[in-house]
Structure 1
Amino acid sequence: MSPTDSAADTPVGSAAKSPGFAAEFKDAVTLRAFGLVLGGLLVQLAFVVSYVGAFHSPTPHRIPVAVAAPQQASAKIVDRLNALDGNPVEATAAASAAAARQSVLTREADAAFLFDATGTKDTLLVASAGGPSVSQTATQIAQKIEAAQKRQITVTDIRSPNSGDGRGMTSFYLVLGWVIGGYLTATIMGMAAGSRPANRHRTLIRLAVLVPYAIVSGLAGAVIVGPVFDALGGHFWALTGIGTLVVLASATTALALQTLLGLLGTGVVVLLFVVLGNPSSGGVYPAPLLPSFWSAIGQALPPGAGTTLVRNTVYFAGNATTSALWVLGAYAAGGALLAWAASWWRERRTAAA
């Protein structure tokens, strides 16, 4: 028998025996792999806790209401509303019915109560474009109070969502897409083939790439909700600018956290923008219906600030948008600065090592 024949008759697996299940298990289940799985589980549980905690029992808390009534009755009505069990509303006196109406349109109040001193038929003004659930809740509270006082109330919606906007949720969905697109793009740039750990030059290149990406994203979003579906029409360039800012806020923050913390940074981004940011944004239930924790953090995160900025720009002539602009600008600029600083810090650590 020749050596060749001998080799041909040898079983394929005999040259390299399998290390066995135990060895494979030990090699596969490392401490790092266990930590990643545990991290995924914790994010999953946090997601459930955050959404259920925010939405499981929407309860009105200090809904801003402007009260227009004759001077002798105004203080009494305001005090009675503010004394309701659970503090469902926060009433303030308005100088006139016109002033009360204007306070709703400028987002100083979510509803306006107009008292009829000569009869028993009062009026409640709401703006469901700012959040249908709040308008409905304010209506229910007013109807209950009026029935107890043997009075009647007429509800007038002075600013409803566009016909293509359904229940006024388009603003939330639009911003959600921008936020997710921003942090996913930043993550992909760090994982793409040929990418290296970020240094200052590479970080600047990635930041430069994010700018045209954000502009295109803002433009595309404005096209979708405007000419395509006619949900938020008539504000094309304003929405393009808002979209650019939202995407930059999300993307630069994600880039910074991922540069600073590595894979853990991606988890922190998901925690901030998805687990905490989405349920607290006011897109589903506005702040007066959310528990105190979610109500407090909502407008300090990009999803909430972006939703408010889009909604108030489209429906309320840009009123009450200054804070949202500052929040998004701070994330965009702060994220860029932190990303550059983190890459510089990593360079120094590598050089020292």
Structure 2
Amino acid sequence: MSTASTTSTRAPALRAIAVVVLVPLLAALALWAFAWPSARTAPRDVSLGVAGPASATAQVEKQLQQHEGAFEIHRYDDEAAARNAIEDRTVYGAVVVTPQGPELLTASAASPLVAQMLRQAVAEQAAADGTQVKTVDVMATPAADPRGSALGASVLPLALAGLAGGAAVTLLGLRGVRAVAALTGAAALVGVIAAAIAHSWLGALTGAWWAEAGVFALSTLAVSAAVAGLAALIGTAGIGVMSLVVMFLGNPFSAASSAPQMLPEPVGTIGQWLPPGAGASLLRSVSFFDGAAGTGPLLTLTWWAALGLGAVLLGTALKARATSTEPAAVRELATVG
């Protein structure tokens, strides 16, 4: 049997082995990325305010510190200061000590899961002391979406839209300015449609309509530009690389349905560096908190979009240079010959 026939016989067997090995590996990676953070969801340095006279809050702080590593305590003079901190997204809630007893301020708009966790933790402690806690939701989720499900559910569709946009631009052979225009135009249209659905139809968002549309658009562009940019530099393999990053890291690590401090470290931090997590945080700030604490995620999305679009232009320029250089080299060889 010739070497060529032997190689052709082995090739299908090797491809079959690759499928048998790679599919379970991808399944294991997906389970790790999605199941592990969910199974380890718990408070880790969740910012919580304590308001009132120092003599009155000392006992409350001591009780909260019994939940070792769960809370990062911020101290405020009175209830007004604590409310301002919640509205600025400095803390997720606050325990206010009053003459009538402790009062818990929450912000379900910041994270329904954290608000629920705070109610349970403070209520359990109060029950042990034989007291009752009055709870006030300072920044509540919209009545049309009391569980805040729509915001969390928006992460995957936006990620898919970004992946599809970047892949389409690459596979259709769009380059340079045309590619940038296509990516930007598609993202802008996604933003308008997403705002129309989430805000106008579902009533799940309550901020400035165009600001929300801008967040949806920038979140989509951050992904699509990264996909097209990496593909412009390394080829179509860039689509697969970015798809793995966005779907297996960005999506499950986004903390859109909980909070970054509820995920195991460094997952919560990594998620905020990627477009899905930054997009969810920025949308929450714009929709419910008048943009408070939105600078960080805005810069993250902007950098992803800018670097991706820059890579698209750079990749086009490099290919153009290679194309123009090749004929010159061929002519030189022909002259020598």
Range into which the TM-score falls when normalised by the shorter chain:
0.7 to 0.9
What amino acid maps onto 1:165 in structure 2?
D
Equivalent of residue 106 in structure 1, options 74, 88, 98: 88
Q: Classify the secondary structure of the residue corresponding to 1:143.
A: helix
Q: Distance in 2 between matches of 1:74 and 1:164?
A: 36
Identity %: 28
Tell me which residue corresponds to 1:228. 201
Change (3 A) 1:142 1:343: same
Change (3 A) 1:235 1:286: same
| Superposed displacement of residue 59, structure 1 | 1.2
The Cα offsets for residues 22-67 of structure 1, whole Å up to 9 and x where unpaired, read as 9976454566x87687555544321211111110131111111111
Q: Classify the secondary structure of the residue corresponding to 1:335.
A: helix
Q: Distance in 2 between matches of 1:338 and 1:30?
A: 35
Tell me which residue corresponds to 2:102. 122
Check if 1:170 corresponds to 2:150. Answer: yes
Query: 2:226–2:304: 8 Å Cα contact kept in structure 1?
Result: yes
| Superposed displacement of residue 147, structure 1 | 2.4
What amino acid maps onto 2:139 in structure 1?
R
Computing the radius of gyration over CA atoms, which structure comes out larger, 1 or 2? 1
Tell me which residue corresponds to 2:232. 259
Q: Classify the secondary structure of the residue corresponding to 1:135.
A: helix
Change (3 A) 1:70 1:35: same
5 Å matches for 1:184-223?
Answer: 184-192=164-172, 195=173, 202-223=175-196
Tell me which residue corresponds to 2:41. 58
Q: Tell which deviates more after alignment, 167-176 or 318-327.
A: 167-176
Q: Distance in 2 between matches of 1:87 and 1:60?
A: 8
Check if 1:310 corresponds to 2:283. Answer: yes
5 Å matches for 1:196-345?
Answer: 202-233=175-206, 235-345=208-318
| Superposed displacement of residue 315, structure 1 | 1.0
| Superposed displacement of residue 108, structure 1 | 0.5
Q: Distance in 1 between matches of 2:17 and 2:316?
A: 28
TM-score, normalisation: structure 1: 0.82
Q: Distance in 1 between matches of 2:168 and 2:20?
A: 20
Equivalent of residue 136 in structure 2, options 156, 167, 178: 156
Change (3 A) 1:133 1:25: farther
Change (3 A) 1:85 1:242: closer
What amino acid maps onto 1:69 in structure 2?
G
The Cα offsets for residues 230-284 of structure 1, whole Å up to 9 and x where unpaired, read as 2225532111211221121111101112222334322221222111111221212
Structure 1: 5+ residue stretches without partners: 1-20
Q: Tell which deviates more after alignment, 137-146 or 232-241.
A: 232-241
Query: 1:169–1:283: 8 Å Cα contact kept in structure 2?
Result: no
Q: Distance in 2 between matches of 1:232 and 1:277?
A: 22
Query: 2:169–2:182: 8 Å Cα contact kept in structure 1?
Result: no
Query: 2:254–2:271: 8 Å Cα contact kept in structure 1?
Result: yes
Tell me which residue corresponds to 2:31. 48
Check if 1:135 corresponds to 2:108. Answer: no
Q: Classify the secondary structure of the residue corresponding to 1:84.
A: coil
What amino acid maps onto 2:35 in structure 1?
V
Query: 1:252–1:331: 8 Å Cα contact kept in structure 2?
Result: yes
Q: Give me the CA root mean square deviation.
A: 2.6
What amino acid maps onto 1:87 in structure 2?
G
| Superposed displacement of residue 347, structure 1 | 5.2
Q: Distance in 2 between matches of 1:270 and 1:181?
A: 11
Change (3 A) 1:36 1:331: farther
Change (3 A) 1:256 1:37: farther
Tell me which residue corresponds to 1:68. 51
